[in-house]
Structures are given as C-alpha cells and as structure tokens.
Amino acid sequence: MFKIYYLYQSGFYIETKKAIFLFNYISGSTPKFSKGKPIYIFINSCSSDHFNSDVFHLGANRENVHYIVAKDRFSQKWQMKFFFKYVLEKETRENIVWAEPNKNYLLNEVKIWTYNCTDTNNSLAYLVQCGDKIIFHAGYLNNWSWPNKTDYDNNIATKNFKKEVDKIGDININAAFLVLNPAQQNMYAEGFDYFMRNLNVDAVFPMNFKDESKIIDFILNDPVSEPYREKIKYTTQYTYKEK
C-alpha cells in the first residue's frame, strides 16, 4: 500500500503498509491517521511556509510519534526556544530528532538520509526508506537561479544544487517531491529538470507553488519535460494510491 495526499505548499501526507509520514504541515486537514502505525513528522525548515508549530500537537495522545526537524535556525530564534522549552509537552520534546545535513538516522525500521538545501535557511532535504518504499522530499533543495541575477551567482547556485543531488546516486525513488517555483520565471524548471533527468524516479509531485498550480500545466506542456512527462503528477488534483 502506498498513499499520497497533498496538503498545501510543500505539505504531504504519505502512508505505506508500515508507517505514516507527514512532511511540512502548515495548514489544511490531514487524512485520519490509521491506528497502530508509527507516525514520522518531518520539518525541512522553520520558515513560515514550511512550518506551523501546531504540527507538534497532531500526535497528541498517540504513541510512537516521531519528529525529524531540521536544526537550521530553530536554535537561533528566541520564540522557538521559548516554545520548545516551556510550551511543548515533555513527551513530545523527547521524540524530536534535531537533524543535521549529510547524516543518516535510523528510527525503528525507517532509514533517513539528509541533504543540505541550497537556500539561505540552512534547511534539509530528506530521503526516507521504509520497507520497499523510498521517498525523497526536497524541501528547499532547488537550483535557485534567477533571471535578474548575474551569471556568476546563477552558476554558483547551479553548482551547489547539482553537488547535493548527485550525492543521491542511483537509488530508485518511488515518489519525489520537488520544487517548481513560478517566481523563477523562465528558469522555473532548472532544478526539477536536472533531478528528473539524472535520478531514477517513479513518480514526481511538484510543490512550493502556493496557489499557482497552473505551473504544473505549464511544465506538462513544456518540451523540456518530454523525457519524464508521464511521471509528473498533478499534485493538487491527484491522490496517489497503490495497493
């Protein structure tokens, strides 16, 4: 069994036979958590479009709930220090893994690899293996090239992005969640395209477009996506279920 539900922005609920994974919840209703399965809640960054502190209460009154949180700037924000020290329940605090880049973690049967994102938040991308399923959530990992930037800046952005992506190697990814940002204009697919052409991916879900979901139509009709077009899922209208 493999189920994927889109929430908003870069938020996804994923369920396999063995576990439930929740990435970057900020708003919206999640499917009802199946009883008896462990829950792994991932936070790529503390930025407002990737993080809502309410996520730490979603697992209330449940056992076997784990939080994997990018250390990034949480430790530098006094509001977060106060929240974690004085507001958050002790039982939840004890189940937080403060993840760092280029590390691997083992939580029960779930293997997690972290990658350094190429934004300014020191955030993380996650590669997750549970049983025979492998998930990649890019977070902010993207080729952040911009039309109004110099060639020098864009070349650095491209180099840094490719360096991280190439670390993944020839692993077969069952579901990838990748940035597709309309604000990058004609450079919107630079990172998405490199990832899809160079890695083994069964299905890809565009994200990070907020309410501008027409960007998915755009890439589906863009000649650049021809080699992997059938793998692109229309994130906001598609629920992926595999028995």
pLDDT (tens digit per residue) in 76-122: 554 566 666 655 666 677 778 889 899 999 999 999 999 998 776 67
Tell me if 146 sits within 8 A of 195, measured CB to CB. no
For 24: left if phi > 0, alpha if psi spans -120 to 50, otherwise beta; the answer is left
User: For the chain, which residues make up each domain, given as ranges?
Assistant: 2-242
Predicted structure pTM score: 0.90
Please state which of the ranges 15-19, 94-98, 206-210, 237-241 shows the lowest mean pLDDT. 237-241
Going by pLDDT thresholds of 50, 70 and 90, the confidence category of residue 2 is confident
How many C-beta atoms lie closer than 10 Å to residue 205's C-beta? Answer: 23
CATH 3.60.15.10 fits 2-242, yes or no: yes
pLDDT (tens digit per residue) in 30-78: 777 777 899 999 988 776 665 777 777 776 677 888 999 887 655 555 4
Whole-number pLDDT of residue 86: 52
Question: What distances in angstroms separate CA 133 from CA 13, 105, 202, one per listed residue?
Answer: 14, 16, 11
